[in-house]
């Protein structure tokens, strides 16, 4: 009698426990952090907004891009080796993203506003992808924006001219303007596309 | 027994053999080991002589297309040295006013480009000029480089002298020489 009663209670109890476990597991699964392949940035202080000009003289601020994932690369036009390779890679990433690329914007911010005239910047940046935007400003505006991203940059003499040592990272901001990921020169096209697709959802 | 006529030359001059030598040589030439000296010569002398004539080679020279209006470019290649240590001293090309040797390295995430006065080529070693590493910066291009263009580049070495190569222009941001697949 008592054994039968115990049995009757045990079955609903077990079913309940299994349902709870399944619920918890699926909750953990759905709420788990996305498995990014790029280095993730800890949530830091909000980025100060910037006001820069694009190569057509239009004003751009960070806030203009809310709702879109931003991919920001700092460089300069007279950079023969690294910058073209990185921009070319980002152009291929955008192709790989297909329709999701509508929700992603690549910005190239020059660290050499003195030499990189708007016309030069336009010719350079759009050669990689016509949707890429090149931004410039005064030396102090650029310095401020770079500092906000912790981008180190310094002029160094190269021959009779100069080059610019600079952080070669690619910064990725989510649609709400938060710093999220950091791409490197070694980051593969596939990995960029994988992570941007998650952020662009 | 018929006589085999022996015509031997050493350093361009005919060599005289004595009667006994002639008999021994003609007998040897008719044995089944006559092919042996030829084989020994080709296996030892020829490979040794080949690289000696050209102890250094520059291969896989390539460049990247440049956007219109941009006056700088890049060139990469590989130097294969079978000989003794050499030094790459400078470069010349009709496509640009100047061709500088640069090093590129990333220190704590910051890329640093520096001009090099010369580049050491170790004995029996290879030196690669490649993306994110050593490269040639072309300054003041006479015209933008288009994909599939070709231009000459002369590398001047301390010992090997001037070596001219043909540089093949690849895509804007290509990462490797023509034929090689881009890692992505």
Would you list the domain boundaries of chain B? 9-52, 56-170
Q: Do B64 and A185 touch (CB under 8 A)?
A: no
pLDDT digits (tens, 9 = 90+) for A40-58: 988 877 888 899 999 999 9
Contacts of B100 in chain A (CB under 8 A): 158-159
Which residues, 6 or more positions from A25, have their beta carbon under 8 angstroms from its beta carbon? none
| Cβ(B22)–Cβ(B48) below 8 Å | no
Beta strands in B28-181 (DSSP E): 56-64, 72-81, 86-92, 96-107, 110-116, 119-121, 126-129, 135-141, 150-157, 161-170
Residues in chain A predicted with pLDDT less than 50, given as ranges, are: none
Pick from A81, A120, A126: which is nearest to B113 by CB?
A81
Domain shared by A87 and A8, yes or no: no
Pair A18, A45 in one domain: no
Give the pLDDT confidence score for residue B184 in this predicted structure: 43
Within this chain, do residues A14 and A52 fall inside the same structural domain, yes or no? no
Same structural domain, A146 and A172: yes
Domain with A15, as residue range(s), is 1-32
Question: How much is the pLDDT for A157?
Answer: 87
Query: How close is the nearest chain B Cα to the Cα of A146, in Å?
Result: 13
| pLDDT score recorded for residue A114 | 94
Q: Is the entire prediction scored with pTM above 0.90?
A: no
Q: What residues pair up with B141 in beta bridges, in sequence order?
A: B96
**Residues B66, B173 contacting (CB under 8 angstroms):** no
Q: Spell out the per-residue pLDDT of chain B, length 184, in tens.
A: 455 566 666 666 666 777 777 777 777 777 777 777 777 766 666 555 544 446 899 999 999 999 988 999 999 999 999 999 999 999 999 999 999 999 999 888 899 999 999 999 999 999 999 999 999 999 999 999 999 999 999 999 999 999 999 999 999 988 888 776 554 4
Residues A116 and A187 in one domain: yes
Q: Kindly identify which residue of chain B lies nearest to residue A128, measuring between CA atoms.
A: B172
CB contact under 8 A, B104 and A82: yes
Instruction: Identify which of B184, B183, B181 has the alpha carbon closest to the alpha carbon of residue A193.
Output: B184
- Minimal Cα distance from A84: which residue of B? B173
Q: Which residues contact B81 (CB under 8 A, 6 or more apart)?
A: B55, B56, B121, B122, B123, B124, B125, B126, B127
* CATH class of the domain defined by B56-170: mainly beta
Measured CA to CA, the distance from residue A84 to residue B175 in angstroms comes to 10
| Phi, psi at A194, each rounded to 5° | -60, -50
From chain B, the residues in CB contact with A166 under 8 A are 110-111
- Select the residue of A91, A168, A190 nearest B106 (Cβ to Cβ): A168
Residues in A closer than 8 angstroms to B167, CB to CB, are: none
Q: Which member of A84, A86, A159 has the closest CB to residue B115?
A: A159
Residues in A touching B73 (Cβ below 8 Å): 80
Give me the CATH number covering residue A66. 3.40.30.10
Q: Considering only CB atoms, which chain B residues are within 8 Å of A152?
A: 109-110
How far is the C-alpha of A143 from the C-alpha of A155, rounded, in Å?
Answer: 12
Tell me which chain A residue has its CA closest to the CA of residue B112. Answer: A165
Q: Which residue of A has its CA nearest to B138?
A: A80
* DSSP letters spanning A1-30: -HHHHHHHHHHHHHHHHHHHHHHHHHHHHH
CB contact under 8 A, B184 and A159: no
Residues A25 and A60 in one domain: no
- Kindly state whether residues A28 and A43 are assigned to the same domain: no
pLDDT value at residue B51: 44
Which structure tokens are listed for A84? 């073209």
From the list B70, B109, B135, the residue facing A81 with the nearest CB is B135
> How many domains, chain A?
2
For residue B69, list chain A residues with Cβ-Cβ distance below 8 A: 119-120, 123-124
Give the angle subtended at the CA of A192 by the CAs of A187 and A193, to the nearest 5°. 145
Measured distance CA(B174)–CA(B167) in Å, rounded: 14
Name chain B contacts of A88, Cβ cutoff 8 Å. Answer: 171-174
Q: Which element (helix H / strand E) includes A125?
A: helix A118-128
Does A51 share its domain with A1?
no
Around Cβ A83, how many Cβ atoms within 10 Å?
Answer: 25
Name residues whose C-beta falls within 8 Å of residue B35's C-beta, 6 or more positions apart in sequence.
none
Q: What is the pLDDT of residue A161?
A: 85
Is A124 in contact with B132 (Cβ distance < 8 A)? Answer: no
Q: What is the ipTM of this complex?
A: 0.79
Note the residue count of chain B.
Answer: 184
Chain A residues with CB under 8 Å of B117 CB are: none
Do residues A104 and A200 touch, judged by C-beta distance below 8 A?
yes
Residue of A82, A123, A158 with shortest CB distance to B67? A123
Say yes or no: A63 and A108 in one domain: yes
Strand partners, A51: A61
Residue of A nearest to B171 (CA): A88
Q: In this complex, which of A77, A85, A92 lies closest to B70 when CB atoms are compared?
A: A77
């Amino acid at each position: 009698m008592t054994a039968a009663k115990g049995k009757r209670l045990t079955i609903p109890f077990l079913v309940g426990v299994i349902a709870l476990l399944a619920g918890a597991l699926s909750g953990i699964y759905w709420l788990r952090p996305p498995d990014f392949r790029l280095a993730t940035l800890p949530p830091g202080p909000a980025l100060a907004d910037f006001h820069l000009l694009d190569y057509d003289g239009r004003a751009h601020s960070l806030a203009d891009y809310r709702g879109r994932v931003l991919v920001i690369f700092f460089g300069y036009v007279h950079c023969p080796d690294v910058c073209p390779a990185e921009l070319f890679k980002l152009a291929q990433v955008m192709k790989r993203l297909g329709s999701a690329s509508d929700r992603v914007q690549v910005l190239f911010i020059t660290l050499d506003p003195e030499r990189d005239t708007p016309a030069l910047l336009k010719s350079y940046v759009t050669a990689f992808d016509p949707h890429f935007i090149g931004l410039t400003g005064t030396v102090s505006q650029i310095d401020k924006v770079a500092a906000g991203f912790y981008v180190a940059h310094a002029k160094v003499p190269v021959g009779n001219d100069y080059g610019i040592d600079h952080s070669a990272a690619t910064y990725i901001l989510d649609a709400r303007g938060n710093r999220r990921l950091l791409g490197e020169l070694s980051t593969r096209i596939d990995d960029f596309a994988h992570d941007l697709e998650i952020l662009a959802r | 027994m018929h006589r085999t006529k022996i015509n031997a030359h050493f350093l361009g001059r005919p060599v005289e053999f004595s009667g006994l030598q002639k008999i021994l040589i003609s007998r040897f030439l008719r044995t089944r080991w006559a092919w042996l000296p030829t084989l020994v010569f080709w296996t030892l002398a020829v490979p040794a002589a080949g690289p000696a004539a050209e102890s250094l080679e520059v291969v896989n020279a390539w460049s990247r297309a440049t956007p219109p209006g941009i006056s700088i470019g890049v060139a990469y290649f590989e130097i294969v040295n079978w000989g003794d240590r050499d030094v790459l001293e400078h470069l010349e090309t009709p496509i640009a006013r100047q061709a500088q040797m640069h090093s590129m390295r990333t220190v704590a995430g910051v890329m640093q480009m520096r001009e090099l006065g010369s580049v050491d080529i170790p004995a029996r070693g290879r030196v690669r000029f490649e993306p994110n590493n050593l490269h040639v910066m072309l300054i003041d291009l006479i015209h933008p480089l288009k994909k599939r263009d070709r231009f000459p580049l002369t590398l001047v070495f301390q010992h090997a002298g001037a070596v001219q190569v043909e540089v093949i222009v690849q895509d804007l941001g290509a990462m490797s020489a023509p034929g090689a697949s881009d890692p992505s």
